[in-house]
């Protein structure tokens, strides 16, 4: 713990932590030490973990990196936090992120952008930017993030870490601040597959406080990692052909494919012709859900309240106008428009149908193949400020990550080393619903072959 405190101090300029829990972490460490001495320690004994600042930890601030919740203290802990603590992990602090997890560069945070440790002039990715940089710069062993449309996988990719988004319904979201509920998931950022597997084992499984969690049995993910298993892998041709794809990422992925083949996996190129519909469907649906979820921040129930308002309407208006940042407002307005009487059928309903088509297509592919391979991001980490003025350009960055989010299937981003400028490159792998075992097995053996 002392080592990580020092690391955090030495990397302050990266702005990864919104708060370090010095007191509660030390207290937990002492408890865990006692248990270790008595040989009663849990499966995560001594694992030092950071949590994204949209996950509730009782009696600690939780802000979603928003002015709206700047002084909000969590009245209870998220199920994921309780599960970490029950297995004797130590929670070291809360990590900077995009405001309400809306963004892909960590630049919408009320507390300023997170900087990439590979090049502090560049973004960490988002929305779980702090979660990625904390692992990248060894400020803790592993972190929790949330992934609605790529927020675990994309920053992990920009920072050379492993980002796992499990199947929708695998991990409880109780106590996680909602953005778009039919997409939101908790995921992990780690530097090894072993850690990802162990964490998933602890975090996954039914929760009486979240009815969207599946009660499917939780396999012993860690035990499946080294089993020799030949897989049939589909590469989405259009994603590699995409003009937007950085040539160095393409080359790294093609080399990765050769490694997979050399290891005895069967790799085939397949067509995926719905690429153009991913980003529009994702943003229509998530904006709609966000506008509904964020209606609770009214200046009365939670968080920021304007002090000068003369009546209730003004209180709502001023509190929301001052409490939310521009990206959150853009999405609330867009979502409200999409859900309004005259446009619901044209946008929301239509996007739901497109989502179904995408999901059917992916499920169909995953009935013929064990895994699907595609890039995580079109480019390596971009410069801070490069896209912030053009939301559409920023949204297009999500083209490869929202596929798994629209379909609900598990997905992982895996590091492929750095480009010449020292920026991390990566590849994404998807597997069938609740087939994290196969996904982790393939990932583990692939990363071992690469190194
Ligand atoms: N960049 C995407 C968005 O802004 C993903 C965010 C997320 O997964 N939380 O919606």
Q: Is the pLDDT of residue 63 over 90?
A: yes
**Residue nearest atom 5 of ligand 1, based on CA coordinates:** 149
The counts of H helices and E strands in the chain are 15, 13
- Are 181 and 293 within 8 A, CB to CB? yes
The torsion defined by the Cα of 428, 434, 436 and 441, in degrees rounded to 10, comes to -110
360-379: average pLDDT: 98
Concatenated DSSP letters of 41-86? --TTTT-EEEEETTB--TTSB--TT-GGGTTPBPSS--HHHHHHHH
Q: Where would I find the H helices in 178-274?
A: 193-203, 237-241, 247-262
What is the overall mean pLDDT for the chain? 97
Q: Is the pLDDT of residue 224 over 90?
A: no
Q: Is residue 120 part of a domain?
A: yes
Q: Is the pLDDT of residue 17 over 90?
A: yes
CATH code, domain with 411: 3.90.1300.10
CA 421 – CA 379 distance, rounded (Å): 13
Distance 107 CA to ligand 1 centre (A): 12
Q: Find the catalytic residue in 65, 77, 105, 127.
A: 127
CA 355 – CA 407 distance, rounded (Å): 7
Nearest to 160 by CA among 119, 102, 195, 194: 119
Q: Is residue 184 part of a domain?
A: yes
Q: Is 428 in the pocket of ligand 1 (CB under 6 A)?
A: no
Q: What is the pLDDT of residue 433?
A: 98
Distance 101 CA to ligand 1 centre (A): 6
Q: Is 437 in the pocket of ligand 1 (CB under 6 A)?
A: no
Q: Is the pLDDT of residue 104 over 90?
A: yes
Give the domain extent around 122. Answer: 2-230+375-450
Q: Is the pLDDT of residue 370 over 90?
A: yes
Q: Is the pLDDT of residue 422 over 90?
A: yes
- Is 261 among the residues known to form the active site? no
Q: Is residue 397 part of a domain?
A: yes
Which atom, in ligand 1's list, is nearest to the CA of 150? 8
Q: Is 151 in the pocket of ligand 1 (CB under 6 A)?
A: yes
Residue with tokens 């990422």: 249
Q: Is 286 in the pocket of ligand 1 (CB under 6 A)?
A: yes
Beta bridge partners of 427: 375, 414
Return the biggest CA–CA distance within the chain: 71
287-312: average pLDDT: 96
pLDDT band at 405 (very low <50, low <70, confident <90, very high): very high
387-413: average pLDDT: 97
Q: Is residue 269 part of a domain?
A: no
Helix H or strand E segment including 420: none
- Is 52 among the residues known to form the active site? yes
Q: Is residue 21 part of a domain?
A: yes
- Are 302 and 72 within 8 A, CB to CB? yes
Q: Is residue 236 part of a domain?
A: no
Distance 360 CA to ligand 1 centre (A): 22
Q: What is the pLDDT of residue 228?
A: 87
**Is the previous residue joined to 429 through a cis bond, with omega within 30 degrees of 0?**
no
Which of 106, 150, 293 has most ligand 1 atoms within 8 Å of CB, for mutation? 150
Q: Is the pLDDT of residue 10 over 90?
A: yes
Which of 52, 102, 279, 327 has most ligand 1 atoms within 8 Å of CB, for mutation? 102
DSSP at 113: P
Q: Is 125 in the pocket of ligand 1 (CB under 6 A)?
A: no
Distance 283 CA to ligand 1 centre (A): 9
Which of 54, 98, 154, 180 has most ligand 1 atoms within 8 Å of CB, for mutation? 98
pLDDT band at 174 (very low <50, low <70, confident <90, very high): very high
Q: What is the pLDDT of residue 281?
A: 98
Nearest to 177 by CA among 322, 80, 305: 80
Distance 152 CA to ligand 1 centre (A): 9
Q: Is residue 365 part of a domain?
A: no
- Is 66 among the residues known to form the active site? no
CA 78 – CA 364 distance, rounded (Å): 35
Please give the ipTM for the structure prediction.
Answer: 0.98
pLDDT band at 302 (very low <50, low <70, confident <90, very high): confident
Q: Is 185 in the pocket of ligand 1 (CB under 6 A)?
A: no
Terminal Cα distance for the chain, rounded: 29
- Whole-prediction pTM value? 0.98
Q: Is 207 in the pocket of ligand 1 (CB under 6 A)?
A: no
Q: Is residue 39 part of a domain?
A: yes
Counted domains in the chain: 1
């Amino acid at each position: 713990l002392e080592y990580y405190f020092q690391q955090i101090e030495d990397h302050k300029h990266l702005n990864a932590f919104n708060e370090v829990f010095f007191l509660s972490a030390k207290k937990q460490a002492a408890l865990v030490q006692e248990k270790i001495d008595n040989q009663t320690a849990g499966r995560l004994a001594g694992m030092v973990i950071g949590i994204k600042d949209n996950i509730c930890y009782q009696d600690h601030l939780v802000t979603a990196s928003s002015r709206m919740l700047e002084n909000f203290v969590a009245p209870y802990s998220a199920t994921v936090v309780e599960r970490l603590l029950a297995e004797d992990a130590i929670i070291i602090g809360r990590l900077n992120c995009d405001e309400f997890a809306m963004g892909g560069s960590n630049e919408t945070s009320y507390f300023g952008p997170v900087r990439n440790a590979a090049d502090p002039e560049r973004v960490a990715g988002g929305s779980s930017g702090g979660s990625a940089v904390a692992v990248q710069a060894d400020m803790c062993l592993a972190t929790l993030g949330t992934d609605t449309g790529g927020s675990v996988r994309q920053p992990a990719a920009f920072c050379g870490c492993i980002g796992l988004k499990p199947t929708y319904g695998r991990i409880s979201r109780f106590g996680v601040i909602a953005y778009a509920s039919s997409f939101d998931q908790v995921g992990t950022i780690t530097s090894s597959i072993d850690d990802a597997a162990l964490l998933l084992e602890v975090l996954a499984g039914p929760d009486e406080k979240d009815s969207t969690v599946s009660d499917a049995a939780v396999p012993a993910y860690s035990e499946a990692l080294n089993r020799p298993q030949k897989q049939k892998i589909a590469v989405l041709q259009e994603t590699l052909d995409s003009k937007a794809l950085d040539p160095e990422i393409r080359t790294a992925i093609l080399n990765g494919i050769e490694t997979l083949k050399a290891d005895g996996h069967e790799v085939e190129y397949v067509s995926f012709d719905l690429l153009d519909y991913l980003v529009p469907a994702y943003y229509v649906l998530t904006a709609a859900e966000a506008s509904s979820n964020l209606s609770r921040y009214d200046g009365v129930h939670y968080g920021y309240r304007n002090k000068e308002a003369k009546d209730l309407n003004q209180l709502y208006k001023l509190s929301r106008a001052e409490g939310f940042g521009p990206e959150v407002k853009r999405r609330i307005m867009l979502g409200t428009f999409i859900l309004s009487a005259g446009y619901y059928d044209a946008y929301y309903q239509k996007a739901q149908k497109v989502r179904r088509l995408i999901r059917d297509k992916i499920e169909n592919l995953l009935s013929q193949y064990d895994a699907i391979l595609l890039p995580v991001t079109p480019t390596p980490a971009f410069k801070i400020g490069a896209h912030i003025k053009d939301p559409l350009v920023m949204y297009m960055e999500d083209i490869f990550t929202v596929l798994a989010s629209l379909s609900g299937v598990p997905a992982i981003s895996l590091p492929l080393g750095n480009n010449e400028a020292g920026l991390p490159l990566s590849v994404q792998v998807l597997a069938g619903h609740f087939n994290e075992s196969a996904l982790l097995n393939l990932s583990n053996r692939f990363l071992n072959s690469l190194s």
